[in-house]
Amino acid sequence: MIHTEKIYDAIIIGTGIAGLNAAASFGKDKNILLICKQNSWDCNTFYAQGGVAVPVDEEDIPAHVADTLEAGAGLCDEKAVEIMCRDGRAAIDDLIARGMAFDRDEKGNLLYTKEAAHSRNRILHAGGDATGRYIHHFLMRENPHKLLYNSTVTDLFIENGYCHGVRVFHKDQFRNYYARSVIIASGGVGSIYEYHTNASSISADMQGLCIEKGCDLRDMEMMQFHPTVFIHNRGARKQLLTEALRGEGAHIVDENGKRFLFEYDPRGELSPRSMVSHAINDWKQKTGLEVYLNCSMFDEEFFRNRFPTIYFNLRDLGFNLPQDEVPISPAFHYAMGGIETDINGKVPGVENLYAVGEVASTRVHGANRLASNSLLEGLVFSRRAVNDILKRDVYFQVKAFSEEEEPLKKEIDKELKNRLRILMWEAAGITRERSKLESALEEIEKMLKKDIGKLLRLRLNTSRNIVKSAIYREKPLGAHYII
Ligand SMILES: Cc1cc2nc3c(=O)[nH]c(=O)nc-3n(C[C@H](O)[C@H](O)[C@H](O)COP(=O)(O)OP(=O)(O)OC[C@H]3O[C@@H](n4cnc5c(N)ncnc54)[C@H](O)[C@@H]3O)c2cc1C
């Protein structure tokens, strides 16, 4: 017997840009349940700094498509990229019409900045370098739907090719919720890497669960590492220094002041992320020198206004910006690969199940994401998924599933989780070697055979998938640098 208050039109897993925009797209009259692991703001969306890429006008659409395809190194789905760029302008205009305030000049014109591998300035930003926080705040303020905080989805009810709902761990209890459609918007995989920029709730569990349910993940070897991260702060989430800093003129130098990136790529600081990450790693190893981000060319007042988040965060860590150089390293940042979907976010083979945002693989990013395209992807494809759901004549027969769940955590998990993070960083990090990947795979298989909790098993499933995909792709491509 199912209580009717536990049946929804849709359940949305995640309160980042993809989940919240999906909720907004349903309209107020639908009965929607949003679920997030901790606070609603503990998501990557909240921490996005640089901005959101969008064609400046109709004429810019082909150029944005071309830049995205070039960064994607031949692995993009061209149709999906065209949809993102074409619908992206309308999605942003809609967001602005609803009241979202992007930064403007004194005449009221939208300000566009530049980031690496974009052929022109087309990145909108808000609050200087607080774009994600502003968008998140705006979408939360708009949200009319019920939101379940501090709740982890631990299972998807999939039977005979239909998804019926989810099991949730909330306040020390398991509860089942049922819906006509389930949208997974649970973000990337940050916590499986030793060094990363991601929110603490981003731990690859939904990808691991989808594997167990027979859904395919795609392009999981394609993991992006951000080149300019301060990794010496305490806490798992490392401090990102947005690409927009380089876009607006910051330099990467070694301790002798040499701008060594030009030895790797004539575009220097404006080379694609994977190139800059690889060059920093290589230069450090080759020369033994420390590498820094130098922002001293910026006027102090301009810097404080344009990059307030970085200014204050780094000040708390003892840096006086823009004068001080900040030691930098690459760190895991973004998953291009994810749960395979079609161009409407639908998961093939399972009716009523969708995946949108970073957790999904629509193939808009291909082998390497163009900077600031992910917020745009989240906006565009969450709306498409909802439109698809609203169009379909959804089959839904309420069916009760057991509320029993296996243990989520066991005593040995913590130690293994830490080991996994190191393993992934060393074997499936910036530079990969087949032999290291193979021994990582062996170790992951051994961990999976131990008596571990479900959440660790899900992380391990995803990690195994990344490592296997990296072994399978023998030649370097995009973000996958294998030697
Ligand atoms: C520091 C940083 C800066 C960035 N800067 C930019 C930028 O300038 N421009 C850009 O385009 N992109 C940027 N990105 C990438 C971009 O922010 C993300 O790709 C995007 O925000 C992902 O949105 P999302 O809605 O898919 O997921 P997220 O915003 O990560 O949200 C995931 C949600 O899923 C929930 N969740 C996860 N697992 C479960 C579970 N099992 N049960 C219940 N809930 C769950 C979480 O609690 C969270 O609410 C940046 C990323 C980081 C980390």
Q: What is the mean pLDDT of residues 128-138?
A: 97
Q: What is the mean pLDDT of residues 125-149?
A: 97
Q: What is the mean pLDDT of residues 282-298?
A: 97
Q: Which ligand 1 atom sits nearest the alpha carbon of residue 131?
A: 8
Q: Which ligand 1 atom sits nearest the alpha carbon of residue 125?
A: 8
Q: Which ligand 1 atom sits nearest the alpha carbon of residue 151?
A: 43
Residue at 463 is within a domain:
yes
Residue at 283 is within a domain:
yes
**For ligand 1, mutation pick of 171, 189, 206, 375 (most atoms within 8 Å of CB):** 375
CATH code assigned at 458: 1.20.58.100
Residue at 56 is within a domain:
no
Residue type, 212: E
* The pLDDT value given to residue 418: 97
Q: What is the mean pLDDT of residues 255-274?
A: 93
Return phi, psi of residue 135, to 5°.
-65, -45
141-161: pLDDT as tens digits: 999 999 999 999 999 999 999
| Ligand 1 centroid distance, CA of 95 (Å) | 18
Residue at 328 is within a domain:
yes
Ligand 1 is surrounded, with C-beta below 6 A, by: 13-19, 35-38, 42-45, 47-52, 131-132, 151-153, 185-187, 197-199, 201-202, 205-206, 240, 334, 357-359, 372-375, 378
**For ligand 1, mutation pick of 40, 313, 374, 458 (most atoms within 8 Å of CB):** 374
Q: What is the mean pLDDT of residues 200-204?
A: 97
| Ligand 1 centroid distance, CA of 375 (Å) | 9
* Alpha carbon distance 121, 111 (integer Å): 9
* Alpha carbon distance 430, 422 (integer Å): 13
| Ligand 1 centroid distance, CA of 378 (Å) | 9
Q: Which ligand 1 atom sits nearest the alpha carbon of residue 153?
A: 42
Residue 285 has pLDDT above 70, yes or no: yes
* The pLDDT value given to residue 273: 83
* The pLDDT value given to residue 395: 77
Closest C-alpha residue for ligand 1 atom 8: 50
* The pLDDT value given to residue 2: 63
20-68: pLDDT as tens digits: 999 999 999 999 999 999 999 999 999 999 899 999 999 999 999 999 9
Q: Which ligand 1 atom sits nearest the alpha carbon of residue 199?
A: 53
* The pLDDT value given to residue 202: 98
Buried b (16+ CB within 10 A) or exposed e, 255-275: eeeeebbeebeeebbbbbbbb
| Ligand 1 centroid distance, CA of 63 (Å) | 26
Cβ proximity of 409 and 451 under 8 Å: no
Residue at 310 is within a domain:
yes
| Ligand 1 centroid distance, CA of 93 (Å) | 22
Q: What is the mean pLDDT of residues 121-130?
A: 96
Residue type, 182: V
| Ligand 1 centroid distance, CA of 267 (Å) | 29
Three-class secondary structure assignment of the chain: CCCHHHEEEEEEECCCHHHHHHHHHHCCCCCEEEECCCCCCCCHHHHCCCCEECCCCHHHHHHHHHHHHHHCCCCCCHHHHHHHHHHHHHHHHHHHHHCCCCCECCCCCECEECCCCCCCCCEECCCCCCHHHHHHHHHHHHCCCEEECCEEEEEEEEECCEEEEEEEEECCEEEEEEEEEEEECCCCCHHHCCCECCCCCCCCHHHHHHHHCCCCEECCCCEEEEEEEECCCCCCECEECCHHHHHCCCEEEECCCCCHHHHCCCCHHHCCHHHHHHHHHHHHHHHCCCEEEECCCCCHHHHHHHCHHHHHHHHHCCCCCCCCCEECEEEEEEECCEEECCCCCECCCCECEEECHHHEECCCCCCCCCCCHHHHHHHHHHHHHHHHHHHCCCCCCCCCCCCCCCCCCCCCHHHHHHHHHHHHHHHCCCEECHHHHHHHHHHHHHHHHCCCCHHHHHHHHHHHHHHHHHHHCCCCECCEEEC
Closest C-alpha residue for ligand 1 atom 20: 45
| Ligand 1 centroid distance, CA of 14 (Å) | 9
CATH code assigned at 233: 3.90.700.10
| Burial (0-12, 13-18, 19+ Cβ within 10 Å), 431 | middle
Domain end residue (candidates: 332, 351, 377) = 332
The strand pair at 338-340 and 360-361 is best described as parallel
Residue at 312 is within a domain:
yes
* The pLDDT value given to residue 106: 96
Closest C-alpha residue for ligand 1 atom 10: 372
Nearest one of 420, 424, 418, 430 to 466, comparing CA atoms: 424
Residue at 321 is within a domain:
yes
Catalytically annotated residues = 273
Closest C-alpha residue for ligand 1 atom 14: 48
Structure-token pair, residue 184: 């997974």
Q: Which ligand 1 atom sits nearest the alpha carbon of residue 359?
A: 26
* The pLDDT value given to residue 1: 60
For the chain, how many structural domains are there in total? 2
339-357: pLDDT as tens digits: 999 999 999 999 999 999 9
* The pLDDT value given to residue 397: 79
Residue-number span of the structural domain to which 436 is assigned: 413-482
Q: What is the mean pLDDT of residues 390-400?
A: 83
| Ligand 1 centroid distance, CA of 200 (Å) | 10
Q: What is the mean pLDDT of residues 166-190?
A: 96
Residue 289 has pLDDT above 70, yes or no: yes
Cβ proximity of 283 and 268 under 8 Å: no
Domain end residue (candidates: 332, 353, 387) = 332
Residue at 380 is within a domain:
no
Q: What is the mean pLDDT of residues 203-227?
A: 97
* Alpha carbon distance 105, 128 (integer Å): 12
Closest C-alpha residue for ligand 1 atom 38: 186
Domain end residue (candidates: 297, 332, 367) = 332
Closest C-alpha residue for ligand 1 atom 13: 48
Residue type, 299: D
- Within 10 angstroms of residue 47's Cβ, the number of other Cβ atoms is 21
**For ligand 1, mutation pick of 20, 42, 45 (most atoms within 8 Å of CB):** 45
Where does the pLDDT of residue 4 fall: very low under 50, low under 70, confident under 90, or very high at 90 and above?
Answer: low
Closest C-alpha residue for ligand 1 atom 2: 48
* The pLDDT value given to residue 271: 87
447-478: pLDDT as tens digits: 999 999 999 999 999 999 999 999 999 999 99
